[in-house]
Amino acid sequence: MSLKRSFWSGILAWPDRLQLQGKPAIIDPMKPNDSRIATIQVLYFARLREVFGRDRERVELPGHVQNVAGLTAWLRSRGDAWERELAAGKPVRIAVNQDMAAADTPVANGDEVAYFPPVTGG
């Protein structure tokens, strides 16, 4: 299912309208023998934006992160709020380049990965 900008713009205020809130991007240090394979943009919406204190960040992924499951585990390894909010069973949806993603969806250089809680309407 493709995420259309027009759909999300009314619900989540798409990232091109969001502010960085003066927060620097976090680039975690590599582990020994890791090679950088990708630089991606990660976006956070709704409660995740509030809890993490940022709406986006550019990250350089270590070589072992190749898909959504690996990215989520790597972000979770930051501890505290990251571990709690991205825990298995926590209701979080993920999109890669505005398409809904599964755990095995690849993550590559230049991708945009969005994390957001499920949205319900009334």
| 45-83 per-position pLDDT tens digit | 999 999 999 999 999 999 899 999 999 999 999 999 999
CB 70 within 8 A of CB 64: yes
pTM reported for the whole predicted model: 0.70
CB 120 within 8 A of CB 46: no
Where do the domains of the chain lie, and which CATH numbers do they carry? 5-19+35-116 (3.10.20.30)
- Specify the pLDDT at position 22: 42
- Specify the pLDDT at position 118: 87
* Residues contacting 17, CB < 8 A, separation 6+: 9
3-class secondary-structure state, position 81: helix
The stretch 12-20 carries a mean pLDDT of 37
In this structure, the strands spanning 36-44 and 112-116 are parallel
* Residues contacting 108, CB < 8 A, separation 6+: 38, 40
